[in-house]
Amino acid sequence: MSVAEPLASKLLALGEMSQLTNIQTPKSKLFALFGSKLHTLFGASALAVWMYQPADRTLTLGYGHDLSEAVTGVCEKPVPVELFPETALAVEGGSIWTTEDISDSPLFDVPKTKELFGSMGARAVMVVPLRALTRVLGAVSFYYREPKDFTADEKAFALAFCNALALSLNNVEAYERLMASERIKSEVIDVVAHQFRTPIATLRGNIELLKDESVGGDPKMRAQIIEELGKVGSKLRKFVENFLNVKAIDEGRLEPHRENTNPDDLVASVVRDLEGYRTQHRVHVALQKLPGPVVINVDQQLVGEALTNVIGNAIKYAKQQVDVRLRIEGSDVVIAVQDDGVGIPDIEQPMIFQKLFRASNVIRHPEASSGLGLYIAKQYVERNGGRIWFTSEEGKGSTFFIAFALSTP
Ligand code: ADP
């Protein structure tokens, strides 16, 4: 902190910051506003606002002031928290951390860390966690070129500012979550209304036909109509089941019952169950099994459902051919489902596993349904310790891969 900065002006600055933002302020603006003010008020040579992701223990740079190119370069993507050990201590310990001179501290005796601090010419550092209630959202790191003794006042002020930033950040995130849930609600209403309209019209039309003596009286026609009614009924049931499955996933009610399973048998039974669907689509499905028996440890029902969604999609979107191949890769079994269908536009590929997402090239497809199938598949596969990914080219086709670790029988 500039020593000359009078207490009143610091208090004023703190008050001002809280006035300048509200729940709709974009996070990037919040970071820039607070970051640049903190940089000047505390006389730091460089400053970073970090966001922390505890699930994968990474840091993302929210804002940087006068950081070296080496730091901004390495932080273009999320970086492991260990790369900045002082920040790791602050975010994981939840309290302020200072180092008066990094050359005296063994903490910085890691080659990559040393290089990054060297590139900024930083000798002293203060890291203040961004704490909102019990959650640590990230941290602000203040870097100084000279060794520095941080006073209790400096630390207290830095903490007050960072608490204000964390609180604003928390409010912005809560607002974003609220908006996202509003958006999902309206998407659900759109999808439900759209998806129910056609089957309900078909149900009503067929019921009218049954009532009509000249059609419904004919046993052959009657049988055909009843079969059609059955199909529509199953489609509606599947649709509602998908929503209930998503609800169970989101509420954390999913409990896989894993047991040793032969992947060949599981895939073969899914392909068998989809036989009627395949015939209806006039698609050929080839299944290539493994050379010998192996075992994976999964919940057969959940993984069967995931496979049904992925193989069902391949059949739905294929032109004429679907190849399902199992192979061993290292210590994994990989199930590849390849189709020669519509493919997925490059730009939309990152969204494909999101809830309710349907790509623009299938939105008018007579069968594109809720956009929940792949979301469910991914959750089910991952909850069973597996991975799912794909490659795709628009107009040429897609291959979805599902991998599980081999287990000992
Ligand atoms: P849907 O019921 O709409 O198929 P999914 O969640 O199963 O919902 O799939 C989401 C979206 O992913 C689909 O709408 C489609 O755009 C795309 N997709 C999934 N599988 C394929 C595939 N095999 N070929 C092309 N696009 C696919």
Tens of pLDDT along the chain (409 residues)? 454 456 777 778 878 877 787 888 888 899 998 999 999 889 999 999 999 999 889 999 999 999 999 999 999 889 999 999 999 999 999 999 999 999 989 988 889 999 999 999 999 999 999 998 888 999 999 999 999 999 998 899 999 999 999 999 999 988 988 888 888 888 778 777 777 887 888 889 988 988 888 887 888 988 988 988 998 888 888 888 888 888 899 888 888 999 999 999 999 999 999 999 999 899 999 999 999 999 999 999 999 999 999 999 999 999 999 999 999 999 999 999 999 999 999 999 999 999 888 898 887 776 657 789 999 999 999 999 999 999 999 999 999 999 999 998 7
Pocket test for ligand 1, best of 313, 347, 355 (most atoms within 8 A of CB): 313
What's the angle, vertex CA 318, arms to CA 242 and CA 262, rounded to 5?
65
Q: What is the pTM of this model?
A: 0.63
Asked if 120 contacts 143 with a C-beta cutoff of 8 angstroms, the reply is yes
C-alpha of residue 374 to centroid of ligand 1, in Å = 7
225-237 burial, b for 16+ CB within 10 Å, e for fewer? beeebeebeeeee
390 CB within 6 A, ligand 1: no
339 CB within 6 A, ligand 1: yes
Can you point out the beta strands (E) in 283-358? 284-288, 295-298, 321-329, 332-339
Pocket test for ligand 1, best of 337, 347, 362, 380 (most atoms within 8 A of CB): 362
Q: Is 393 helix (H, G, I), strand (E, B) or coil?
A: strand
How far apart (Å, rounded) are the C-alpha atoms in residues 23 and 32? 15
Query: Parallel, antiparallel, or unpaired: how do β-strands 295-298 and 397-407 relate?
Result: antiparallel
Unique residue bearing structure tokens 């990054």: 116
Asked if 56 contacts 145 with a C-beta cutoff of 8 angstroms, the reply is no
127 by Cβ neighbours in 10 Å (0-12 / 13-18 / 19+) ranks as buried
pLDDT for residue 6 = 65
- Start-to-end C-alpha separation, the chain: 64
pLDDT for residue 368 = 56
372 CB within 6 A, ligand 1: yes
Residue 338: φ, ψ to 5°: -110, 135
289 by Cβ neighbours in 10 Å (0-12 / 13-18 / 19+) ranks as middle
Can you point out the beta strands (E) in 249-306? 259-261, 284-288, 295-298
At residue 336, what is the residue type?
A
C-alpha of residue 31 to centroid of ligand 1, in Å = 37
Q: Is 125 helix (H, G, I), strand (E, B) or coil?
A: strand
C-alpha of residue 284 to centroid of ligand 1, in Å = 19
- Closest approach atom of ligand 1 to CA 397: 24
